[in-house]
Structure 1
Amino acid sequence: MKLKFVLSIFFILNCLFPYIYLIPLDIDAQPTAFILSVVLFFFYCKKIDKDNFLLFILFVISFIFLLFSNLSFASFRSFYSYASLFFITFVSYKTLLYLKGIPYKLFTFSVMLWFIVGFIQFFLYPNFCTFLLRSEQGGFGLVTGRGVTSLSTEPSYYGMICLLLLIILCLNFRYKNNFKLLFSFILIQLFIFSRSTTAVLVLTISIVIFLVYQGIKCNIRYLFFLLVFILMIYYLIISLLVYISDYRIGSIIINFLSNPFELSAFDGSVQERFSHVYFSLYGTVKNYSLPHGYDNFYFLNQNNFEFLDVSEMRFSRIMSAFGSVLYELGFFSLIFFYVFFKSVRVLIKVNINNLFCVLMLVIILFVGFTFSTSIIPFMFGNILFLKKEYEKSLIKL
């Protein structure tokens, strides 16, 4: 068996399981996939296409920013995000070309492994397989009304991983025989095992935006379906509040319904996610899209943002992929956004239903992960691969 093939399979597995603790580093998302991407880079570096070359330019720019930073751990971690963006995206793209797509059996195995670990943690043993993670938390959230973590470090991350697996499934395997079965297994993990408020909110917003777009652009029936969907969700939530009030998501819904226009109705975790998104965009606009550099993200709430419980916060990193690249690299981030939106535009043009997946991914990149979480640049590589495949099929036609 070729070394290149073995490394490629192991690389994809580490992208789909970004929290497996193989290297003793005090970070949640592990660098194993990044290390493998650097190794595989030497197999594939003979030819770099235009899109990946633009990401390479962004990588070089991010390195220059590192040289002018204060060289703190936070600065190196920010630079590592952009290094991951180039190396993992490029190697993912080349690996999928080499393997002719994501191996379906490998993806099925990954979904089922996430499911089995989540199932055992939820019903049998909360700390099952937590020795594979940096922090052995497992089912700690069950005590506080949250879900389990499966092979991630938090229920919220588990829920977000479920959404990313859902996107991969819909973009790559929509016409496979077991599509509905895998789809069901992912939704069970999302709604029952993870109980992630953030992930459910991302999914709901994506559905609403997609139906509104379809109704405006394509058919008025979608607007009717949207109205019915909203009424059904509202009725379902009201009906279930009695049963889920002790869960975290239930308490958040009750607080939101009582104070729908106050962010303080949500808990600290939701407020913090909002702060990372809002103030990274706010800082970008206030600085006229000029770069802030690394380890320089903070905000001071001088009674301008009464919806926040805190007056001042400083973070060593921005927990938002889009927010971080805008805030840290400023107008240089246009390189990334050009590559990203140019690629997803092809996917949407080929199949309008891909818009739903793109919407979910865009919202996740605002509220969920940074580029250092290997599954994110892997998704970019997958999108570039699908774009190339679609373009080849259009040329044949």
Structure 2
Amino acid sequence: MGHVSTNDARNPIGRKLPLQQKMENTMRFGAANFLLLLSLFLYVCPINLGFDTQPFALMLSTLIVTFTILKTKKISMNSNVFVLFLMFFVACFFFAINANKAAGLRSLAGYASLFMVTLASYRTSRYIKTTWFNFAVYLYLSVGIIQLTVDKKFGAFLLPRMSTSVERGITSLAVEPSAYAVVCIFMLMINDFLLATGKQNKRKYFIITLLLIAQILVTLSGIGLLFLTVYLTSKVISILLKDGIAKHKGKLIIFALIIGSVFASFRNIDSLQRSRGGLVLNAAISNPKLLLIEDGSIADRLTHAILPIYSLSYSHGVGLGMGTWAKYAINLRSYAGGFIEIMGQHATLTVDRIMSGWGTALYELGSLGFVYMFVFINIIVAGAKTKDKKLAMVYISSGITIWLLMFMSIPLAFPLFSFMMGMFMYETGKRAIENNPNKI
């Protein structure tokens, strides 16, 4: 018997799929959803490997890509993935000429993730089951509830580290409250995408959204509160750009009420006032400039986002290499001068990890780092042009949110970023073919 498509399995004759194809389909769905779960639970590892973001999504993606090449004797990728492929070889060159191989290896893993995880997601995201995504949300929630009510350190044995304190909130299956909040922000965006593509029903979407927002709030993270505001604001911007105000007055009012209620709670409820998020919010309102100097976490994130921009002129656009942040960061701080230098004195500049994805690319690769930004913008713009207005709004809101997060907090090795790029590209490509079947 020859190859039988899945369409044949649904035809009136009722022909059954061959065993081989059933096994292949099972492998596809298994690989796709396992990659999703590894990307979502990116910090989980009972053995401390020496870093927060685990390499398991990258490892599985490499297996998926390798298996695809061996099976088909070719590898299909669109222009964006091909650019990521070329940039990975550029990163390999920078790694080869870098003296500190141990420090550079972590950076190289980030560039490998940008290519491998994106390509694997691009090839498999069509097989994602929404049930597994919802399961991940519920699992994060369940661990968070236990930490909130029984033991704040519950689940610590599953993580390389768990960093929290009395005034800080829970971490669930992340390494610290802000990391938990960031994962929830990405899950909010994936939830938006699943609704727009018809994979998530409206009732479940609404429940998942509320649960994720609640989890962000109980992290008591100032950064989490900021990113939630960015996410909600980007939703409003996407509505205004695509539909205007008139059609969505109700939604805009709901967004305004949510933001207002959250800020009012952290300003007026005593326990929230004394939390990390409450203290940051109060300082931001009373003296924002002093906040940037006195708060080490915020000083870290802003310094790590801004100094790489100065590194472009400092290195004459050629980059300062992988794993050299500790070597040049102090010099860059002095080179920047002014308030940036003052703020940088309160930041951590003695380790080789840069707390900014875009910043890492610009610092290490120089002007070539902009290529990653251009690829991301190209993906978002292509999605924003789709005829499906709801989906276009998701591309716009997610694009704004991710763009800012990649400056402030997300490393290049963060698998959810690459996973979403692959997912976005597949959906855009699929719809382009549906709208113009002759253009393949």
TM-score tier (shorter): 0.7 to 0.9
Distance in structure 1 (CA, Å) of the matches to 2:36 and 2:249: 39
Paired letter, 1:65: F
- Counterpart of 1:353 in structure 2 is 393
Distance in structure 2 (CA, Å) of the matches to 1:79 and 1:388: 28
Distance in structure 1 (CA, Å) of the matches to 2:234 and 2:241: 11
Alignment of 1:197-346 (within 5 A): 197-208=222-233, 211=236, 219=244, 229=256, 232=260, 236=264, 239-240=267-268, 242-264=270-292, 267-297=295-325, 298-300=329-331, 301-302=333-334, 304-305=338-339, 307-308=342-343, 310=345, 313-346=349-382
Question: Could you tell which deviates more after superposition, 259-268 or 56-65?
Answer: 259-268
Paired letter, 2:322: Y
Paired letter, 1:321: G
Contact residue 259 and residue 265 of structure 1 kept, 8 A: no
TM superposition shift of 1:60: 0.5
Runs of at least 5 residues in structure 1 that lack an aligned partner in the other structure: none
- Counterpart of 1:39 in structure 2 is 63
- Counterpart of 1:196 in structure 2 is 221
TM superposition shift of 1:30: 0.9
TM superposition shift of 1:382: 1.4
**1:61-94, Cα deviation, whole Å (9 max, x unpaired):** 1000011001332211111110111111111111
TM superposition shift of 1:110: 0.9
TM superposition shift of 1:324: 0.8
Count residues in correspondence.
388
Contact residue 44 and residue 173 of structure 2 kept, 8 A: yes
* Pair 1:13–1:309, CA change in 2 (3 A): closer
TM superposition shift of 1:22: 5.4
Q: TM-score, normalized by length of structure 1?
A: 0.88
* Pair 1:239–1:254, CA change in 2 (3 A): closer
Runs of at least 5 residues in structure 2 that lack an aligned partner in the other structure: 1-22
CA RMSD of aligned residues (A): 2.9
TM superposition shift of 1:133: 0.8
TM superposition shift of 1:331: 2.2
Distance in structure 2 (CA, Å) of the matches to 1:238 and 1:167: 24
TM superposition shift of 1:396: 5.6
1:129 matched to 2:155? The reply is yes
- Counterpart of 1:93 in structure 2 is 122
**1:287-332, Cα deviation, whole Å (9 max, x unpaired):** 4432221122213444522651617833302111111112211222
Paired letter, 1:125: D
Identity of aligned residues (%): 26
Contact residue 237 and residue 397 of structure 2 kept, 8 A: no
TM superposition shift of 1:132: 1.0
Contact residue 211 and residue 223 of structure 1 kept, 8 A: no
Question: Could you tell which deviates more after superposition, 72-81 or 154-163?
Answer: 72-81
Contact residue 299 and residue 346 of structure 2 kept, 8 A: no
Question: Which of the residues 135, 148, 159 maps onto 2:181?
Answer: 159
Question: Could you tell which deviates more after superposition, 387-396 or 161-170?
Answer: 387-396
Paired letter, 1:310: Q
- Counterpart of 2:7 in structure 1 is none
Paired letter, 1:151: L
Paired letter, 2:343: L
Alignment of 1:97-176 (within 5 A): 97=126, 99=127, 102-137=128-163, 140-141=164-165, 143=166, 145-174=167-196, 175=198, 176=200
**1:33-78, Cα deviation, whole Å (9 max, x unpaired):** 1111111112223223122221110000100001100133221111
Greater CA radius of gyration, 1 or 2? 2
Paired letter, 1:158: Y
SS of equivalent to 1:293: coil
TM superposition shift of 1:185: 1.1
Q: TM-score, normalized by length of structure 2?
A: 0.80
- Counterpart of 1:376 in structure 2 is 417
Distance in structure 2 (CA, Å) of the matches to 1:367 and 1:311: 16
- Counterpart of 1:389 in structure 2 is 430
Contact residue 256 and residue 265 of structure 1 kept, 8 A: no
Distance in structure 2 (CA, Å) of the matches to 1:168 and 1:282: 34
Distance in structure 2 (CA, Å) of the matches to 1:126 and 1:288: 48
